[in-house]
């Protein structure tokens, strides 16, 4: 499973990228707004830091301006993935970009029917929002499962990018269901590796080692 970080905060990205475990980054207009910074400068900095796909979302809702904005975002760096919403115009724009060989992440996906159209439009990634479905009492993970099932039947190239992650369990369950990618808030990478038994076991190892009086170096 590829792990993307879902943030526009460059320092957070840098602090985690040292692990070598970050396969990409996703941003959206809300995350850019939260950063308080210019989108073009921010996406350029992120693309310089992370070599994998960096999603930059258009803010236009009409096809013509989606194309103009998307081409501007795509020109920032070769690893920009243009993010478009799963709307009629977003699907049209996705088809144009994908036909031009440009990476597209189709976002705000909440149904398998939407995901089917995004794959037909040549999306590089589809972003089903698990958490926002769960927030309204639906079942986001069922959507991941259904999309991965449909995509496997027709051998679509579109990668399932589990998004709107609310817990480490969402990541694990998405992996179990075959999602290609999970885009996670930075705090969840730490939550993934942190375990009290690891900490205790290490302390016990080092206490016993100290008694030997030995050093390795
Ligand atoms: O960035 C896309 C998605 O991960 C947003 O998640 O937490 O705003 O529902 P959230």
* Any ligand 1 atom below 6 A from CB of 131: yes
Domain count for the chain, please give it. Answer: 1
Q: Provide φ and ψ at 33, rounded to 5°.
A: -60, -40
Q: How many CA atoms lie within 13 A of 86 on its CB side?
A: 23
Determine phi and psi for 91, rounding to 5 degrees.
-65, -40
Pocket test for ligand 1, best of 7, 8, 12, 129 (most atoms within 8 A of CB): 129
Report whether residue 69 contacts ligand 1, using a CB cutoff of 6 Å. Answer: no
State percent of the chain over pLDDT 90. 100
| Phi (first) and psi of residue 182, to 5 degrees | -125, 130
Is 34 catalytic? The answer is no
Q: Which atom of ligand 1 is closest in space to residue 132's alpha carbon?
A: 9
Dist. CA 107 → ligand 1 center (Å): 9
- Kindly state whether residue 72 falls inside one of the protein's structural domains: yes
Q: Which of 72, 83, 120, 187 is catalytic?
A: 83
pTM of the model: 0.96
Of 13, 76, 8, 3, the C-alpha closest to 50 is 13
Cβ-based neighbours of 65, under 8 Å, separated by 6 or more: 58
d(Cα 52, Cα 62) in Å, to the nearest integer?
28
pLDDT at 145: 98
Ligand 1, closest atom to CA 55?
1
Give the model confidence (pLDDT) of 108-160 as tens digits: 999 999 999 999 999 999 999 999 999 999 999 999 999 999 999 998 999 99
Decide if 182 is inside a domain.
yes
8 assigned to some structural domain: yes
CATH code of the domain containing 192: 3.20.20.70
Query: Which residues, given as ranges, of the chain have pLDDT below 70?
Result: none
Structure confidence at residue 155 (pLDDT): 86
Q: Which domain holds residue 38?
A: 2-212
Ligand 1 contact, 55 CB (< 6 A): no
Q: What is the residue whose two structure tokens read 């243009």? A: 82
**pLDDT at position 186:** 97
Whole-number pLDDT of residue 138? 97
Residue 164 CB–ligand 1 contact under 6 Å: yes
Q: Is residue 141 part of a domain?
A: yes
User: Does a structural domain hold residue 217?
Assistant: no
Q: Is residue 161 part of a domain?
A: yes
């Amino acid at each position: 499973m590829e792990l993307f970080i879902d943030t526009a905060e460059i320092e957070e990205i840098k602090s985690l990228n040292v692990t070598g475990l970050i396969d990409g980054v996703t941003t959206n207009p809300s995350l850019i707004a939260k950063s308080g910074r210019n989108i073009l400068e921010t996406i350029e900095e992120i693309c310089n830091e992370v070599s994998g796909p960096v999603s930059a979302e258009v803010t236009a809702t009409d096809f013509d301006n989606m194309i103009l904005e998307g081409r501007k975002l795509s020109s920032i760096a070769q690893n920009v993935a243009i993010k478009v919403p799963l709307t009629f115009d977003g699907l049209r724009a996705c088809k144009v970009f994908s036909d031009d060989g440009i990476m597209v992440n189709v976002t705000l996906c909440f149904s398998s029917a939407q995901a089917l159209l995004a794959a037909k439009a040549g999306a590089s990634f589809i972003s089903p929002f698990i958490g926002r479905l769960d927030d309204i009492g639906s079942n986001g993970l069922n959507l991941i499962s259904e999309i991965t099932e449909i995509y496997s039947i027709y051998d679509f190239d579109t990668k399932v990018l589990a998004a709107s992650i609310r817990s480490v369990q969402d990541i694990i369950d998405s992996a179990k269901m075959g999602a290609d990618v999970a885009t996670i808030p930075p705090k969840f990478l730490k939550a993934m590796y942190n375990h009290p038994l690891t900490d205790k076991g290490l302390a016990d190892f080092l206490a016993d080692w100290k008694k030997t009086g030995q050093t390795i170096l």
